[in-house]
Amino acid sequence: MNQHAYRYCRPKKLIVPLCLIVSCLVSMHVSAQSAERQPNFVVILADDLGYGDLGCCGAKDIATPHIDKMAREGAKFNVCYVAPVCSPTRASLMTGTHPTRVGIGGVLFPRNNHGLNPNEITLPELLKRQDYATAIIGKWHLGNQDMFQPLNHGFDYWYGTPASNSQGFDPKIKQYAEDCFWREGYTRESIRTMNEAPCPLVRNNIVIEVPADQTHFTQRYTRESAAQAAQRDPQAADESGAGKTTRYRDAL
């Protein structure tokens, strides 16, 4: 491990469990013996979504009826403090603390050798102590090396991209599936001679497609989320129809 990997991190500080992470976090309670079922929940973090892009926030040129319905029926917060860029936002949501305290002061790039310290206490880890199963579907962006990836931060399952869809990755530090799908002329041999390769698709730290076919992200992520929900809590998935998703709701 590079000696600078943890240079800004202060591990083992308890977090305030305020909220969660990422493109799509699915947390499923799996204790069949529990007398009282704990709630299942999904937290969605959208990159590059402007405040005025939603109907519930005043948008007139974009239709978001399903999100608007959630806003009407739930709680809508209009005053808050956020980081304006990717990695710090995720660090705060994961740990409930200021991103600079955990060493994520700006956007992480493929050349960076630090990330969210595995010794930080994260909300998924706290959920697992309450018998939840956790999964993350989508973008991570909290460190490039495997030690910083979701499976070392309380997630049971991960399907998505290591960083932004516009960012590449260091192909020398990744593992590749035997049936990895190679696109656009890339091969298992050629990619290892490169310093940076285009955005990959990853399942549980293993690269399964290079470059990721981004035209199918919405469909893939939706189906993967529904499949995880059905697998981890069949009763809840059946009640919500999560396993029967046929359309993709609001499109921005």
Residues acting as catalytic residues: 86, 141
**Distances 139 to 13, 17, 35, 239 between C-alpha atoms, Å:** 25, 21, 35, 28
Q: Distance between CA atoms of 85 and 196, rounded to whole angstroms? A: 22
- Pair 132, 25: CB distance under 8 Å: no
d(CA 220, CA 233): 20
Amino acid at the residue 70: M
Local structure of 146: helix, strand or coil: helix
The beta strands (E) that lie in the chain are given as 24-29, 41-43, 132-137, 157-160, 175-182, 201-203, 206-210
